[in-house]
Amino acid sequence: MFRKRTVLIGGAILVLITIFVTFIGTNVLYFALGNLPLYGIFNMNGDKTQYNKLNQVKEIVKKYYVEPVEDDKLMEGAAAGVAAAVDDPYTVYMDKKEYEDLMTQTHGSYAGIGVVVSVDPKDNLITVVAPFEDTPGEKAGILPGDKIVKVNGKDVWGDKLDEAVSMMKGPKNTEVTITIVRGNLSDFKEITIKRDIIVLQTVKHKIIGNDIGYIRITMFDEKTSKDFDAALDELYQKNIKGLIIDVRDNPGGLLDQVVKIADRLVPEGLVVYTEDRNKERSEEVSDAEQANVPMAVLVNGGSASASEILAGAIKDHRKGTLVGTKTFGKGLVQTVFPLGDGSAVKVTISKYYTPNGISIQGVGIQPDVEVVLPDELQKSVAQIKEEEDVQLQKAIEIVQSST
């Protein structure tokens, strides 16, 4: 069952139903391209030969396929096939509904079970990056690293990631059954989850002990930096002596949001830079303002993408101590290109690097102080009691010793 499947792209009808999920493991930039016609994605360089080839295939299928086929269906399939041909699970074509779902989720709410998934290239299995806090997925016991192998009894694979995500989404109060494997790939577990509207509160804060500020960031959506600023300002007003930033199980999100947050914490200099296929470099920098108290950052295997940008910037600038376990290792940047008819294509356009020039794609970031949670605490971070959280307790100890 676990053999890798190959995406076949040819003269057959390619209808790959795609839907975005790893927004959260993805850094999405938006570019308005105006009214770009659908055929433009086949003919951007003026190469009519390739466009004509696709057109010939379309006409042959229309004329000879055993059942009537609509033009729109063929073009949708062709667009999806072109995106799938690069063999990158983050480069996908999105029809109108799927693009609308992406926009809705980026704005902070959607209907589903509340987990972010990616693809493990080693086995082509759909892998949970992290469940969002207080969502049906978290409450059902879904953990980072779980492999989703079936949805409602149907086998699902990484090369059709978005189709699987579409199956997991659905109206509020309806149920979906997913089959996961955890650790041993022969140990299957079925979990039935009732879907709900996922409304994300991405920033939570409090005082730990008498004088240590604690800010948990669960993802980076368009409101996160504003909420972070308000939380940090409130903690400063309470005269905190140290600060702990918790991005455990944070699957990432919007690049501009994490850059704004890093700008509040690290000194003047580079926050992150990206390189595209031509090695052209784009830099994001911070100003002179920086955190004025000792700081620790909590990370784990569910800390991905934008979370790793924040952790990498703090580590490379030596502004704080990373505590926990190795991060996920998602160092790719995607751009969404609207196509003018309500659909869009999301394309991986570059890799990002920490200020010291380190690419974490497929590697992750090692913490400065490794602390592994005991087996009995292998659950969502939000479900661990503060006094039992050995990673948090170590971060408190480090911050206190620096005050």
The Cα angle at residue 396 between residues 390 and 402, in degrees rounded to 5: 140
Cα maximum dimension of the chain: 76
Give dist(CA 98, CA 294) in Å, integer.
43
Of the residues 150, 260, 315, 330, only one is catalytic, namely: 330
- The residues near 336 (Cβ < 8 Å, ≥ 6 apart) are 28, 29, 30, 31, 99, 102, 344, 345, 346
Amino acid symbol at 374: P
Using only C-alpha atoms, the chain has a radius of gyration, in whole angstroms, of 22
- The residues near 208 (Cβ < 8 Å, ≥ 6 apart) are 214, 244, 386, 392, 396
> How many CB atoms within 10 Å of residue 296?
30
Give dist(CA 352, CA 361) in Å, integer.
8
379 noted as active-site residue: no
Beta-bridged to residue 369, according to DSSP, are: 323
Of the residues 307, 316, 343, 346, only one is catalytic, namely: 316
**Where do runs of H (alpha helix) occur along 8-128?**
48-64, 71-84, 96-106
368 noted as active-site residue: no
Amino acid symbol at 308: E
Give dist(CA 44, CA 152) in Å, integer.
40
β-pairing, 147-151 vs 175-181, is antiparallel
Give dist(CA 161, CA 105) in Å, integer.
17
Which tokens in the block code for residue 344?
Answer: 């869009």
169 noted as active-site residue: no
Of the residues 225, 286, 305, 380, only one is catalytic, namely: 305
- Catalytic residue numbers, as ranges: 305, 316, 330
